[in-house]
Amino acid sequence: MIKPIDKKRSKVLLDAYFRDKSLVGFNVDSYNKFVNYGMQKVVDEEGSIIPDITPRGVKSVEIKFGKIWLEEPTLVEADGTRRSSTPLECRRRQATYSSPVMLEVSIIEDGKEIEKETIKIGSLPVMLKSSICVLSDKTPQELVELGEDLNDPGGYFIINGTERVVVIIEDLASNKVFVEPVKTGKVTHEARIYSDDGQYKIPHSITREKDGMIYVTFPRAEKIPFVVFMKALGITKDSEIVKLVSTDQKFSTDLYINLYESKSIRKQQEALAFVGKKMGFSQSESVQVERGEEAIDNYFLPHIGHDAKSRYAKAVFLAKAVKKLLSVSYGDLPPTDKDHYSNKRLRLAGDLMEALFRYAFRMLKGDIKYNYERTTKRGKSPTIRSIVRSQMFTSRIMSAMATGQWIGGREGVSQSLDRSNYFAMVSHLRRVVSALTSSRENFEARDLHPTHWGFLCASETPEGPNIGLRKNLAITAEVSTEPTLSDEKLANLLSKYGLKSNGSIDVYLNGVIIGYVDDAESFVKAVRRARRDKYVPSEVNIRNAVEENAVYIYSEQGRARRPLIIVEEGRSRLTHDHLEQLEKGVLTFNDLVEQGIIEYLDAEEEEDALIALSEDELTIRHTHLEMSPLIIFGSQAAMLPYPEHNLAPRVLIGSKGIKQAIGLYSTSYLVRSDTDTSVLHYPQRPIVKTDIYDYIKYDLHPAGQNVVVAIMPYDGYNMDDAIVVNQSSVDRGLFRASKFVPYRAEALRYPGGQVDEIGIPDKSVQGYRAEEDYSLLQDDGVVPPGVSVSPGDVLVGKTSPPRFLTSLEEFKIGVESRNETSVSVKPGEKGIVESVLITETEDGNKMVEVKVRDPRVPEIGDKFASRHGQKGVIGLLVPHADMPFTSQGIVPDIVFSPHSIPTRMTVGHLLELLGGKVGALGGRFVDGTGFVGEEEFDLREELKRLGFKDNGAEVLYDGKTGRMMKAQIFIGNMYYLRLKYMVADKLHARERGPVELLTRQPTEGKAREGGLRLGEMEKDCFVAQGAALALKERFDSDNIKLPVCKKCGLIAIYNKYRNKTMCPIHGEDAPVDFIETSYAFKLLLDELKSLVIYPRLIIKPKT
């Protein structure tokens, strides 16, 4: 049981945390660092351009890049004018919310600068609420005036009017050694290293074979003996190689075998030539040496360095990697657990945008060089404006953002933001997507790992093939961004605390050996003390890996980190005084971090920590204390009341249901035009709520209603998860909602001066509909607001020029035929025109957007759910008079099946009913926060004091007969959700309609007015019923009468106008019969003929 002091600590600390922190703040910080530092870093690293062709009389030319920055977000109109843009305008005009990228470019000829100019090299999408966004410093009143939601966290982009989020990508950590056993082949164990210098990520492999030989493989070079490689790096003495690896006698046999096999190569030059030859260069030895040096310096462990000075450091790193490989193969160390979260890195939007920016900038550099050389060849003098084409840079950035196809072949990096409700949006912004494909099993990668505690939500993941691959960050988890100190400066700083140039224990910083220490424990304690005293940056994490005789320090970006209370000598640094000051607002959460009371740990340093859940558990060995038990959940699972009383799958389904609930997805929904969104008319705050509801400001975006629920059967209509709903409650507005569907029409311009025209189409246009279809349009061809529309009604009248010459009329002079391309209400849709927007796109085309509102009253088949994963559809709407009622006249809104509780074991469902009843009767809100909520015993006692049975049961009377029910019924209040899945969206029927052009069978899908497929099993049902004629009618959808030649069995040709037949082989005199068959069969015959197969039909008379 959680003690009151732990409950108070949880409440106060989480309150303070969310006052200072945003749920997506780290992603915005990542983008800000990319804009402020990352872009300049890329420009500096890429360097200048040296053209191969120079103007006459000029010996050398250098195109140099200087400062780069983003200007304020702008919108370029069709006439070329620029003006400031806002997110709302970009959403409504289908534009991209972006800023111009300005770069200083200079041309230097023979060491003299001849031209310098600041030029726009392209546009870059702007993240909402970032430092460059116009919303970043606005007051609440100004945000409302700009048409924005006050509670919108930002962290996403607007591309072509669509909100898109760059999801967090989970990847293996770079610059670490991963050792695993190999079960097949000659190799027994393999060590893999993904060396990343910020520009390239290069895989390396070190393998140990059954005969003891160790080989090194990296791009361009395969299976180079380890000893040869050490000699190529400059370690030519055998004794030095053994000393660098290990002097342990256990490994001596393996090392001697490798030394003996490579004894013929003694000098560094010979080893370099061997490497060059392995790379496929068969030239002279000097060329091979040169190629070997190039490969070792540029492609082998590039994160350590790119020049000859770094070779010794690379040799030391390689030797330590071989030592780890041998230690694992001899059982001294366990194989690397790739699923341990210290071995994972999370790539945020800033990191991913930097990689995309680098790729686009390289393409721009190549284009600038090509343009300069082309202009020079023509004898012209190139200028900066003539050689820089901004379209190339912009198109590559925008293409990746619009499609999600990132560099490296990765897909789905940029996704359309889920706007089902506010919580679905927050969940999407905190989603972590694994790089693994869902088509492979990868059971271990999908499992919940112990190191996920506090970093990833233990419950929120999709069902189906993506389970375990798409995860969500826990509520207090953050991701480290670009460090404040460079690795070099941090290494110099650490020298004050015992870091030396020699010693017995290796010290790694971000995957590079930076020195040694003799006493690892003292060094680690000193660094941690300095971090708490703010002498060392707070983003630094350190671990003493005793089993590896090494100390690992990390400050790099992409590490999942979480806050913990520091414990010293068995006592928490957080006192009662601190809690009181936090409650009063005297202290903030950031103050606790600054004062060294709370610190952030990553999964690496957690291996050195012993963390207590409550203060009662604290011993002298404990190092930290959890802020709250709620930290194991993500933002959605934390919204479930009493989750600890439900089975884990129900918590998963419950968190999924919250994201599918209809509510107030945005307070600015009236001026937005989102696709497929619904709004609940009378949303409420829940009586039983959790602490997270206050932190995410649930009151601004509620998504459910409090209802009275009775758990009892009702004539079988609530079996199989169905629910019975009070018709009078629905009539009074229970769960009433509206669905909004936008329709857009754009007047496009075509080559040759042809344009689309928006207006009421003339009767002469091709495809003109019936006059009543255009009856709702006004003179400008647009439907007015407030009009009721039904399927097929034209909302925007539009005609287009013909795209193809389809008839002889097109050749007549002075005749222009136009096609009818009006926008009409989709089949199965209806509603009331909510608003009409007439504007222009970025290209200057006229655009009309009509938003249709469809009132959705709950009906049989609509889906509902509680917050405990108890989902079901309405099975029956019962009149008020027939519903059961209590002795006080309380009539339930929903009758829930009792059979759904024991099998799902959702005890939290029952506790919420109990708590809701207490809250409704007592006029207060009940705290159902996981692990620290109000206890069942206290709720029962309060219910008893209110004059009810403590078990929540009451006597109910049958509404039909008026008789008292023999059993007492469990009845109470709970928060129910109406989900976005509604019968009105699924209902579909068709009598006749369009067919596929190829097969002549009915189209598929509701959107295409398709037919309903009659499959094999449905066919069997018809056969079993003996419905032969009905079956024939169903199979006649592509019925055709084929002329077939009796002699050769081929399909003949039939001239309908002359009523003549002709066989392609036997001519006009051939006997031809017409057979009734499916057009799909005729298509099969044509396919066979295309394969040069003679499909002969043998015709016999019907018997």
Secondary structure string (H, E, C) spanning 249-269: HHHHHHHHHHHHHCCCCCCHH
**Token pair of 251 as six digits:** 């490994």
Contact indicator for 94, 134 with CB cutoff of 8 Å? no
Q: Where in the chain is the domain with CATH 3.90.1800.10?
A: 988-1034, 1039-1090
- Torsion sign over Cα 946, 948, 950, 952: negative
Tell me the C-alpha to C-alpha distance, in Å, between residue 765 and each of 449, 641, 777, 813: 65, 61, 17, 17
Pairing between β-strand 894-896 and β-strand 705-711 as defined by DSSP bridges: parallel
CATH topology for the 988-1034 domain: DCoH-like (3.90.1800)
- 959 alpha carbon, distance to own chain's centre: 50
Contact indicator for 1034, 1022 with CB cutoff of 8 Å? yes
Which stretches of the chain drop beneath a pLDDT of 50?
806-808, 813-814
CATH topology for the 637-736+860-978 domain: 2.40.270
Strand partners, 866: 976
Q: What is the pLDDT of residue 807?
A: 47
HSE-CB at 334 with a 13 A cutoff on CA atoms is: 4
Contact indicator for 240, 255 with CB cutoff of 8 Å? no
Out of 238, 351, 506, 721, the active site residue is: 721
Rg of the chain taking only CA atoms, in angstroms: 36
**Best CA proximity match to 858, nearest among 729, 959, 986, 740:** 729
HSE-CB at 984 with a 13 A cutoff on CA atoms is: 18
Strand partners, 601: 562
Q: Where in the chain is the domain with CATH 3.90.1100.10?
A: 24-171+346-429
**Best CA proximity match to 677, nearest among 179, 271, 163:** 163
Q: Where in the chain is the domain with CATH 2.40.270.10?
A: 637-736+860-978
**Best CA proximity match to 1081, nearest among 1036, 1019, 1047:** 1036
- Alpha-carbon distance 428 to 586, whole Å? 34
Q: What is the DSSP letter of 480?
A: -
CB atoms within 10 A of CB 775: 10
- Alpha-carbon distance 77 to 85, whole Å? 11
Q: What is the pLDDT of residue 197?
A: 87
- Alpha-carbon distance 887 to 222, whole Å? 84
C-alpha dihedral, 387 to 392 to 394 to 397, nearest 10°: -140
User: Is 105 strand, coil or helix?
Assistant: strand
The DSSP element (H or E) to which 905 belongs, if any, is none
CATH topology for the 177-302 domain: 3.90.1110
Strand partners, 1078: 1039
Contact indicator for 400, 356 with CB cutoff of 8 Å? yes
Would the pTM count as exceeding 0.75?
yes
- Alpha-carbon distance 795 to 782, whole Å? 6
- Torsion sign over Cα 658, 664, 668, 671: positive
- Alpha-carbon distance 689 to 1010, whole Å? 45
**Token pair of 22 as six digits:** 């945003």
CB atoms within 10 A of CB 945: 12
**Best CA proximity match to 856, nearest among 704, 1005, 744, 978:** 978
Pairing between β-strand 705-711 and β-strand 969-978 as defined by DSSP bridges: antiparallel
With tokens 């360095």, the residue in question is 305
- What CATH code is assigned to 24-171+346-429? 3.90.1100.10
Q: What is the pLDDT of residue 808?
A: 46
Q: Does domain 738-856 have CATH number 2.40.50.150?
A: yes
- Alpha-carbon distance 190 to 257, whole Å? 18
CATH topology for the 1039-1090 domain: DCoH-like (3.90.1800)
C-alpha dihedral, 773 to 777 to 783 to 785, nearest 10°: -110
Class of domain 480-632: alpha beta
Contact indicator for 660, 424 with CB cutoff of 8 Å? yes
Q: What is the DSSP letter of 663?
A: B
Contact indicator for 795, 741 with CB cutoff of 8 Å? no
Q: Contacts for 271-275 with beta carbons within 8 Å, 24 or more apart?
A: 271/228, 271/229, 271/231, 271/232, 271/236, 272/232, 272/296, 274/224, 274/228, 274/232, 275/221, 275/224, 275/228, 275/229, 275/232
Q: Is 762 one of the catalytic residues? A: no
- Alpha-carbon distance 201 to 196, whole Å? 4
Contact indicator for 813, 876 with CB cutoff of 8 Å? no
Q: Looking at 71-220, which runs of residues are DSSP E strands?
A: 74-76, 82-84, 98-109, 112-125, 157-159, 162-166, 168-172, 177-181, 187-196, 201-209, 214-218
- Alpha-carbon distance 334 to 603, whole Å? 18
